[in-house]
Chains A and B, each alone.
Chain A
Amino acid sequence: MSMVIDGHVHIGTSQFLQIDTDAERLIAIADAAGFARIFVTHLTALYYEMREGNDCLGLDLARHADRLLGYVTIPTHRLGQAACDEIRRCVERYGMKGVKMYSHPESPITEAASTGILETAADLRLPVLGHFTPAECDVLMQRVPEAIVLMAHMGGQPYALGNWHLAVEVAARHPNLYLDTASSQIDNGMIEYAVEQLGPQRVVFGTDTPLLDPWVQRTKIEGAEISDEAKGLILGGNLQRLLGL
């Protein structure tokens, strides 16, 4: 099996998520759970100020280049060109490998301002971990089909109403749309269904550590009734391919 890469990890502090964690703690968790690399987004950038949070993560990346991969985190697409510039800055300065974006009913990602950001990510071949609903992904992928989007939680988040069936249905229409498995949901059969409908190449392992339990998330893949080859792709092979690791 290829190395395990956790594609969905948070660092920093959030009152909302009740998280206060640093790189050393995340690496200790990754060691215990058997994850070779963790793909990290900074909570300060997600919930407060973009540049401050991304710079904090950049320092962590420099100290732990062999373990951490970094997402450029964009708190809101309404930042427009500033978000595009931030993506290029963080790639050039810190070598960040992806983009993290969020959608909220207060600022839905389907507003036109998101298009340029997705185009920038596509231009740089950076996957976008998007906390988007399946319906939002459907709209975005029609606008920027060359963007590589990892649908965070594969529909298993409150705004998406836990609808992983719809997530799979939408992903089937868009070849560059992938499903991130991090979720509170452990519905019996959800991984098998995604693999059956999309193929294992389109499913990417994530844990949402330290919000969620990484062992539960890993076991959701390892306990599924799919081939060992499929498990290997989901747990790390797909991100290795997407990131050119």
Chain B
Amino acid sequence: MRIDINAFFGHWPYHPLPHTSGEDLLRLMDRFGIDRAAVASLRGLHGDWRTANAETLALARVHPDRFTPIACMSPMNDGGAGPLRELAAEGFRGVRLYPLLIQGYSLRSPFTHEIAAAAGELNMMVIVPTRPMMNFRFPTLPIPEIDTLARQHPTTRFLLSGPNYLSEFRAATETMADCPNLSIEFACMQGYGAVRHLVEAVGEQRVLFGTGTVLHYPACNVAKLDHAGLPPAQHQAVAWQNAARLLGIDAG
């Protein structure tokens, strides 16, 4: 079984995507053996997050056995703890934040801390991408910035998304050493042996399978996991068990 912790549907402002709809995403998942995905609408990165979340929820309700809804939120449009509670009540299991990269606020802002605290109370995962996708045209979020946030909210579960190899790998694993409430997904991590090295560095309980579909080719991250050379128990943890635990879903 595989659960993709990092999937999207929707459109991208910088180039046309060959797959855009939730049904397109589902076909890709079927083609490449992905059973379930934690999914968000790409509208939530650049546009109105309320509409984005409504789209995501509608998709997840059509395919409840395949999609777990992940919200997007920003300080615009009255984002905050109140709306996050409403989203949790509707079934959202996590929230994505894009400070600095796209939405222009700081990881140290009152909004960020309000969301992090509320997410902890609501048992929702907070996903902090360091880049929107693995394309060098985009700026990256300094990974050590996440250290402060995760330390100040030790009961909130954070997911680091987007680091690549070399200095980013080291920064991610060093930050994770200080923050036991921080996990990582590897959709953008393309270094040789990356998954195995991650598991060695932080343990298999904190590494999650993610693809970045529909922005990325899903097959590449399936191959990355399947050729990581992990023992079966570690492979299962990374492929789906950790995601099921963090999302609070019964996928076994």
Q: Which residues of A contact B (CB under 8 A)?
A: 17-18, 156-158, 160-163, 165, 184-189, 192, 209-216, 218-220, 222-225
Would you call A188 and B190 a contact (CB within 8 A)?
no
Give 10 new A-B contacts, CB below 8 A, not counting A161-B137, A219-B220.
A165-B15, A186-B217, A186-B221, A188-B19, A211-B191, A215-B223, A216-B190, A219-B223, A223-B223, A224-B217
**Which of B135, B164, B224, B227 has the most CB atoms of chain A within a 10 A radius of its CB?**
B135
Would you call B137 and A187 a contact (CB within 8 A)?
no
- Complexed CA–CA distance, A87 and B227 (Å): 37
Would you call A216 and B17 a contact (CB within 8 A)?
no
Would you call A219 and B219 a contact (CB within 8 A)?
yes
Would you call A213 and B136 a contact (CB within 8 A)?
no
Interface of A is mostly: loop
Would you call B135 and A213 a contact (CB within 8 A)?
no
- Complexed CA–CA distance, A182 and B16 (Å): 22
Q: Does any Cβ of A come within 8 Å of B1's Cβ?
A: no
**A162 with B136: in contact, given A188-B213, A189-B18 (CB under 8 Å)?**
yes
Q: Which residues of B contact A (CB under 8 A)?
A: 15-19, 32, 133-138, 164-166, 188, 190-194, 212-224, 226-227
Q: Give 6 nearest A-B pairs by CB, closest first.
A: A223-B219, A162-B136, A219-B223, A215-B227, A162-B135, A189-B18
Would you call B190 and A187 a contact (CB within 8 A)?
no
Interface of B is mostly: loop
B167 to A, closest residue via Cβ: A18
Would you call B217 and A223 a contact (CB within 8 A)?
yes
- Complexed CA–CA distance, A49 and B166 (Å): 24
Interchain residue pairs with CB less than 8 A apart (8): A185-B135, A189-B15, A189-B18, A211-B191, A211-B192, A213-B192, A216-B220, A216-B223
Would you call A213 and B194 a contact (CB within 8 A)?
yes
- Complexed CA–CA distance, A162 and B139 (Å): 12
A188: contacting residue among B17, B188, B223, CB under 8 A:
B17
- Contact residues in B for A218 (Cβ distance below 8 Å): 223
- Complexed CA–CA distance, A225 and B31 (Å): 12
- Complexed CA–CA distance, A209 and B227 (Å): 14
